[in-house]
Structure 1
Amino acid sequence: MRWMIPLALIACTPAVGQETSAAAVADEHSMAETLTLETAPFRQEIKRLCNFVTECVENEPCTETEFTPEITGIGGGLSADDLVVQAEMVTDAETVELLGVTSGKSLSLSGGTFAARHMITITENGATRYTVHYADGPFVISYLGTCN
């Protein structure tokens, strides 16, 4: 997973011009080999406490729930605007490794295994949607709530 972070950091770098010199390409290649979350010019600790109050299982009616996972990790990038994030979500049942991006206070992460793919999206104001897609079935569980 460690090689994905340098590639993602370079992918988040905005294009400055149409033409690229050989020196610029060499510099970018060198940066891709050394830039990681640990060496990124800008780093930020990620911590969100979530409170989901609605659970929807596949095509059944949604029900009330009390699901409170915690997301912790680190974000890194070339500036504070957009960061690549490596995090984990801890629940009573499991711990899931997640990768994604943050822009301002918004956060989008995904991860898990082939058997259970997880995706969580947190908006600027904390409104959050979390889904788990299970290969066996297949079926999906969705959660509605907030993360702060």
Structure 2
Amino acid sequence: MRWIIPLVLISTLPAVAQEKAPDAAAADSTPQQNLTIETAPYRKDILRRCEFVTECVENEPCTETEFTPEITGIGGGLSADDLGIQAQMVTDAETVELLGVTSGKSMSLAGGTFAARHMITITENGATRYTVHYADGPFVISYLGTCN
């Protein structure tokens, strides 16, 4: 999974013009291809505790739940506000490897296996949506809540 991390970091970089002046190319001392979370100028530990109160399974009515996963990991990037993220979401049932990005306090992560794809989106104020898409079925489970 380490080869994915540089791709995540590159996706958080601003677009650069295709042509450079000859002296500008010589001034590039650190190739962006070698940038990883571990070598990024800005690094940050990630810890979010989530509390989901609503669970919706496929096309059934939503029900109340008490689902409380924890997200831990590390972020890195070229600025303090926009970071590539490598994280784990730990639940009572499993631990899921996730990759994603932050922008300010917002965060978007995705991961899992082909059999179960996970996506979590956390807004600036902590409002969170988490879905798991299962290939067998197929069917989806959605959770509504907060992560702080």
- TM-score normalized with structure 1 length: 0.92
What is the distance in 2 between the residues matched to 1:29 and 1:125? 36
C-alpha spacing 1:21/1:11, structure 2 compared with 1 (3 Å): farther
Residue 80 of structure 1: CA displacement? 0.8
What is the distance in 2 between the residues matched to 1:48 and 1:90? 11
What is the distance in 1 between the residues matched to 2:100 and 2:7? 12
Q: Deviations over 1:76-107 (max 9, x none)?
A: 00111210000000000000000000011000
How many residue pairs get aligned? The number is 147
Question: In structure 2, what is the equivalent of residue 11 of structure 1?
Answer: 11
What is the distance in 2 between the residues matched to 1:77 and 1:12? 7
C-alpha spacing 1:6/1:101, structure 2 compared with 1 (3 Å): same
Question: In structure 2, what is the equivalent of residue 105 of structure 1?
Answer: 105
Q: Is 1:30 matched up with 2:34?
A: no
Residue 17 of structure 1: CA displacement? 4.1
Q: Is 1:39 matched up with 2:39?
A: yes
Q: Which runs of 5+ in 1 are unaligned?
A: none
Q: Is 1:94 matched up with 2:94?
A: yes
Question: In structure 1, what is the equivalent of residue 129 of structure 2?
Answer: 129
* Percentage of identical aligned residues: 81
CA-based RMSD of the aligned residues comes to: 2.0
- SS of residue matched to 2:31: helix
- TM-score normalized with structure 2 length: 0.92
Q: Which runs of 5+ in 2 are unaligned?
A: none
Question: In structure 1, what is the equivalent of residue 73 of structure 2?
Answer: 73
